[in-house]
Chains A and B, each alone.
Chain A
Amino acid sequence: MKCEKISGFLSDYIDNQLSPDLRKEVELHLNDCSFCTKRLGELKTLVGFLGSVKPKQLPAFYQTQLDAKLNETARQIKERSFLLLKFRWQFVFGVFFLGIFLGSGILYISQKTINKSSEAIYTIKINETGILTFNLFSKENVKSIVFNVKLPDGISLASKPKEKSFRWEGELVKGENVISLYVKGMREGTWCVNADLQSYGSTLKEFNMPLIVTEKKG
């Protein structure tokens, strides 16, 4: 067998992918050919180098960005399943009547726009733990961020029930950032959680998040 043909088998030879007969033929050639033996050595060295290359290091803020994206996805999934559960009968009737409309050849398309509430209203029960999520979109990386949260009487931090405030210092990454806070319902009522985002003493954004605490039943 000629060197040109043998060189096409060397990669398979290294990985033990040749049939016994072909392997033997390659080995016979290698015994007499210093050129192909050298080439085989080089390929083995190359494969060794490739296998020893360490995985690329994750860039700064990678984890924060990924957490933010996953939190946002989880929130969207939760909202969708909540709507589906809450309005499932309406949904079934809707599909039924839509079928009638379509069947009759009459289709009315409503042009009514849906007013989306800019802030979701969360509801938790007394002594139940919930997650408050603050989505912060930043156009660039921002250092020295202070995030202050003041909790009303009916809500407290899940980890420290006596504390009514929370302060976080850190950095914002370019793009979406999510700060999540575990809180506990303490007293029934409609409450408002106030928070602000500051940088070097000046307030960048204020949040007012309504939160309803309901009585625990059962």
Chain B
Amino acid sequence: MLQETELIGKAKNGDVEAFQNLILAYQEKIYSFAFYLAKNQQDASDLSQETWVKVFKQLSSFRLDSSFYTWVCRILRNLFIDHHSRIPHKRPEVSLNDELDSNIPQLGILEQIEQQHRDDVVADAVSRLPDEFRSTIVLVDMQGLSYEEAAKITDVSINTVRSRLSRGRERLRAYFEKAGTF
């Protein structure tokens, strides 16, 4: 596969195959980010597909001043804020906090749980976090982005990313502690 910048250059010149290769490289991660923001499959599909359409339209304005993935994530998040966050969630948001102790699955030791089950349980807990913590946890802890990249995408300072990450992790830790996971 060609280098990313080469693909971007070709895609800017109307090379459809190059653009498809860019999509292929990131579509699962982009869909995942959309899923954690939108919290359901249908909205995540719509949101991530709208994102790719917008990326396609605006690719000529991309100046390589951030990574391509960061730029796409930023578009996705802005679309979510502009449109999707106004749509009522199909599943009510429950904030993870100390008062929430019902419906916590009693898991026992996580090491003994199948990977898929564990993924589902962790993902479910993440999806219950408030928006600002959720985005930061997904970008930094689940997708391995740096604080700087997460700050660019979520349009906040690095200190805010640090604070949100700390508070989001603490809420999740407390949640799993109550579930007897640790």
Cβ-defined contact, A43 with B32, below 8 A: no
Cβ-defined contact, B45 with A53, below 8 A: no
Q: Dominant SS at the A interface?
A: helix
Cβ-defined contact, A42 with B182, below 8 A: yes
Cα–Cα, bound, A204→B29 (Å)? 38
Taking CB atoms, residues of chain A closer than 8 Å to B115 are 52, 54
Specify which of A12, A15, A51, A69 is in contact with B142 (CB 8 Å cutoff). A51
User: How many pairs, one residue from A and one from B, have CB atoms within 8 Å of each other in the complex?
Assistant: 90
Give me the 8 closest cross-chain CB pairs, A-B, nearest first.
A11-B166, A50-B141, A55-B32, A55-B28, A56-B32, A42-B182, A56-B35, A53-B119
Q: Does B104 contact A (CB under 8 A)?
A: no
Size bracket of the B interface: 35 or more
| A51 CB, nearest partner CB in chain B, Å | 6
A-B contact list, 29 entries, CB within 8 Å: A11-B165, A11-B166, A12-B162, A39-B173, A42-B177, A43-B169, A43-B173, A46-B169, A46-B172, A46-B173, A50-B122, A51-B141, A51-B142, A52-B119, A53-B122, A54-B119, A55-B28, A55-B32, A56-B28, A56-B44, A57-B28, A62-B31, A62-B45, A66-B23, A69-B53, A70-B19, A70-B52, A70-B56, A73-B57
| A38 CB, nearest partner CB in chain B, Å | 8
Cβ-defined contact, B49 with A65, below 8 A: yes
Taking CB atoms, residues of chain A closer than 8 Å to B41 are 59
Taking CB atoms, residues of chain B closer than 8 Å to A203 are none
Residues of B that sit less than 8 Å from A by CB: 16, 19, 23, 27-29, 31-32, 35, 41, 44-45, 49, 52-53, 56-57, 110, 115, 118-119, 122-123, 126, 137, 141-142, 144, 147, 162, 165-166, 169-170, 172-173, 176-177, 182
Cβ-defined contact, A73 with B53, below 8 A: yes
Nearest CB in chain B to that of A71: its residue: B16
Q: Does A74 contact B (CB under 8 A)?
A: yes
Cα–Cα, bound, A12→B147 (Å)? 11
Q: Does A17 contact B (CB under 8 A)?
A: yes
Cβ-defined contact, B182 with A45, below 8 A: yes
Taking CB atoms, residues of chain B closer than 8 Å to A51 are 141-142, 144
| A189 CB, nearest partner CB in chain B, Å | 29
Cα–Cα, bound, A51→B140 (Å)? 9
Q: Does A47 contact B (CB under 8 A)?
A: yes
